[in-house]
Amino acid sequence: MRWTLVFLTVAIAACGPTPEEEETARKQAVAEVEANQEPPPEQLTLDPIRYREIEKHQLYGAGCSLVPDGGGLGAVVLALAEEGFLIRNGELLRFAADAGSAELPYLARQRYTGREYSFTLDLDEDEGKQSGVETTDYRGRLTVRDSSERVVYQAEGLTQCGA
């Protein structure tokens, strides 16, 4: 009877995982958790779109642009009828206008989509003030999202729409 009890104890101990197996399982669990973690969203910095970029890339047409509050005189977004534009680290980023989104003044659209980012331009159309022969100024908000729909840039400021 004693031998049976000792044999059963040894047999039960032999059925459990070895220390090597436990370490492998632990490493696999850690690797799975790390693979499923999402890094924090990038904080996007936009460059102003100046006349030289407008001329170089022929960014002409009716639409809207936004100058962030406290950001100087340079617009950081151009929202035209068919395309939208941002500049990041000196690189011009092109976006397709979302034809299903709301139409803003001068044929601009509320939403634009690109490869890495998308952006929305929201403005208070009821509060617009005529600023030129073919321009109207509004308060607006630009929101840029990454491919995971996380906000990476947001600014409020003067939004001018015109031809």
Query: Look-up: residue for tokens 């630009």?
Result: 142
Radius of gyration from C-alpha coordinates of the chain: 28
Residue 107 lies in a domain: yes
Say if 40 falls within a structural domain: no
Read off the pLDDT of residues 13-67 as tens digits, 9 standing for 90 and up.
556 678 888 888 888 888 787 777 777 777 899 999 999 999 999 999 999 999 9
Domain extent, residue 140, equals 51-162
Same domain for 58 and 133?
Answer: yes
| Ramachandran area for residue 149 (φ above 0: left; ψ -120 to 50: alpha; else beta) | left
With b for 16 or more beta-carbon neighbours within 10 A and e for fewer, the 75-111 pattern comes to bbbbbbeebbbbbbeeeebebebeeeeeebbbbbbbb
Residue 31 shares a structural domain with residue 55: no
The per-residue pLDDT for 98 is 97
The strand pair at 91-97 and 129-130 is best described as unpaired
Claim to verify: residue 107 and residue 157 sit in the same structural domain: yes
pLDDT tens track for 64-122? 999 999 877 789 999 999 999 999 999 999 999 999 999 999 999 999 999 999 999 99
pTM for the structure as a whole:
0.75
Q: Is residue 41 one of the residues assigned to a domain?
A: no
Residues 81 and 11 in one domain: no
